[in-house]
Amino acid sequence: METNIAQTVDIISERAKYDESIKEILADKQILARILKYTLDEFKDLDLETIIANIDEPEISRIRIEPGHTNTDKIKKCSEEDNVLGEGKIFFDIRFSVYLGAEQIKVLINIEAQRSTRASKLGYHLDNRIIYYLGRMISAQKEVEFTKSEYDGLKAVRSIWICMDAADDEDSINRIVLTQDTLFGKDMDLANLNKVQGVIIRLRSNENSEESKNILIAMLEELLKKESADIKKKRLSENFGLIIDTETERRMNYMCNLSEVLVEKGLEQGIEQGIEQGIEKGIAQGIEQGIEAFITDKLEDGISSEIIIQKLEKRFNLTNEKAREYLDKYSGKM
């Protein structure tokens, strides 16, 4: 038991470092520029160099964890910047400002990296959390971006969520916006409804999936794929035009090295399903729980039994007979 507990603590520490390294690589301005260009209308006609030049230094929710970067002034704890009395602290994964056009209109951007969109895994609906984060980004501007009743000084806010658990056919980009609906009479000219927007980018968890038809999703999936840093750098440079400078290479090497550590410890296949229940219960149990969660999610989404069986066969490398056995076992719990 002592060995198992020590193993679990060590694994959780490595997992946390790996998750932080993902935030570090996503905070690269080349990556941020592409996310903005391919998700937000105000950036779609701008070239990447212009967007990069107008991005402020990103803030990341935790202090850098690799040696030599624990006390840098660039990286701030964002919780200290959004600690509203009576509302409690929240941590933003990545937060930065970007400026638009000759008038240098400020747009506040928050980007979150998250492993799931499923309410059954999260314990809440993701759209509710996005709405809450957008609300906090709006309310935090009082006495910072504007004072008293000068509400026209309110800056636009965008909360972009990168989620990593989509099935093979579920890669997508969805936008949450305010809309105007006239219930009676003449429409009003409400020109500022676009100041609040949320975006959900869904990446596929199966790394053997065919390349996405969406250029941003294809790039992000390649960026976060478990493969050697050399292969990753070559593909990102040749296929997506990333310039692998010293800083980008450092971040990428660190992320890939942590990924290899996790693989070497035998965690890769079962960590998502098994770590919360304790690694000592075994990877096999983690996979079993993952299959159960997968079936539950698909049934909740109204997916037919035959489609679920096909997805089970492909995602978990099961025979048709075994996939049907699992479906019968867990559908009875619904």
User: For the segment 72-102, what is each residue's pLDDT rounded down to a tens digit?
Assistant: 333 233 333 455 444 556 667 888 899 988 7
End-to-end distance of the chain based on CA atoms, in angstroms? 34
Q: How does DSSP classify residue 58? A: P
How long a stretch of residues is the chain?
334
Average of per-residue pLDDT across 160-176: 91
Looking at residue 58, what is its pLDDT? 84
Share of the chain above pLDDT 90, in %: 31
Reported as a single tens digit per residue, the pLDDT across 238-271 is: 999 998 888 888 878 877 776 665 555 544 444 4
Considering the entire predicted model, what is its pTM?
A: 0.70
Least confident span in 40-49, 96-105, 162-171: 96-105
Q: Is the pLDDT of residue 272 over 70?
A: no
Token pair of 99, please? 């400026």
**Which sign does the torsion angle of CA 326, 329, 333, 334 carry?**
positive
Model pLDDT, residue 12: 52
pLDDT value at 328 more than 80: yes
DSSP 266-287: T-TTTHHHHGGG-GGG-HHHHH
Is the pLDDT score of 158 beyond 80? yes
Q: Are strands 172-177 and 156-166 parallel, antiparallel or unpaired?
A: unpaired
Contact 176, 161 (CB under 8 A): no
Are 320 and 333 spatial neighbours (Cβ–Cβ below 8 Å)?
no
Identify the CA nearest to 25 among candidates 314, 219, 278, 263: 219
Instruction: Give the model's pLDDT for residue 103.
Output: 66
pLDDT band at 46 (very low <50, low <70, confident <90, very high): very high
**Amino acid occupying residue 186:** K
Name the least confident of 10-14, 22-26, 113-117, 157-161: 10-14
| Mean pLDDT in residue range 101-128 | 84
Question: What is the pLDDT, as a whole number, of residue 280?
Answer: 45
Dihedral of the alpha carbons of 18, 20, 23, 24, in degrees to the nearest 10: -90
Question: In the prediction, which pLDDT does 73 show?
Answer: 32
Biggest alpha carbon–alpha carbon distance for the chain = 71
Residue 302 confidence (pLDDT): 79
Q: Where are the domains of the chain?
A: 2-268, 274-334
